[in-house]
Amino acid sequence: MEVLQRAINEGIQFEVNGDRLKIKSTKPIPPDLVEQLRVHKQEIIRTLKEQGEADSYSECEQDKGQARRWCTGYEPPRYVYPEVCAWHISEGDVNCGNCRYLSRKDKEVLMDSYLNKTIAKLNSRGAVYYEPGDSQAKRNQIYDLEKRITEAFLVCDVKAFVKAVDSWRKIFFK
């Protein structure tokens, strides 16, 4: 969405609460952008909610003055503290990939960590990515999976990303 991207590039921060959109900026917002934001308000709210940018800790329980949020990544679901989520995300824990509280940045960190862990496993097992005798079909399969990995990362689709990375890993260890 062009207007949202422009606003983000201008340094504007957004907060969504239900159907209300709060806008914060450290500098004056150009009048034409203010008008575009008004016109596209509902679409911006919907986009931010879908991306998880707005949910952060809006539905948290307070425990001794510290916010906790409901974790649905594990069975049984439980309340967790923010630092627990941050640690799981930084470790590439795919169970966190379905969390509705993850921001786009959280998803990117999660996917990056998951890919790094996969590459480290391949390297520790002595995986050879390309061998002189590899068929063109195998190389095409690898290229296709790498393309799917990149596309999933760019749209922050954690499930598709993990599936593509796992398929990519299996090529080297059958």
Cross-strand pairs, 78: 71
Is position 56 within any domain?
no
Token representation of residue 25 = 């900026």
Say yes or no: 16 and 83 in one domain: no
Say yes or no: 45 and 111 in one domain: no
pLDDT at 16 over 50: yes
Residue with tokens 């260890």: 173
Instruction: Tell me how far CA of residue 56 lies from CA of 22, 59, 99, in angstroms.
Output: 14, 8, 11
Say yes or no: 81 and 145 in one domain: yes
Token representation of residue 94 = 């795919």
Task: Name the CA dihedral angle for 8, 11, 12, 15, rounded to a multiple of 10 degrees.
Answer: 80
Q: Per residue in 92-114, pLDDT tens? A: 887 777 676 677 888 888 899 99
Is position 25 within any domain?
yes
Say yes or no: 73 and 152 in one domain: yes
Domain that holds residue 139: 61-172
Is position 105 within any domain?
yes
d(CA 106, CA 89): 7
Question: How many residues are given for the chain?
Answer: 174
Q: How confident is the model at residue 4, as a pLDDT?
A: 78
pLDDT band at 67 (very low <50, low <70, confident <90, very high): low
Say yes or no: 93 and 124 in one domain: yes
pLDDT band at 57 (very low <50, low <70, confident <90, very high): very low
Is position 30 within any domain?
yes
Q: What is the CATH number of the domain that holds 26?
A: 1.10.10
> pTM of whole model > 0.75?
no
Token representation of residue 54 = 């707005």
pLDDT at 56 over 50: no
* Cα angle for residues 106, 154, 90 (degrees, 5° grid): 25
* Phi-psi label, residue 64: left if phi above 0, alpha if psi -120 to 50, beta otherwise: left
Q: Per residue in 100-155, pLDDT tens? A: 667 788 888 889 999 999 888 887 877 666 666 677 887 888 889 999 999 999 98
Is position 149 within any domain?
yes
Say yes or no: 46 and 86 in one domain: no
Residue 151 or 58, more confident: 151
Count of domains observed in the chain: 2
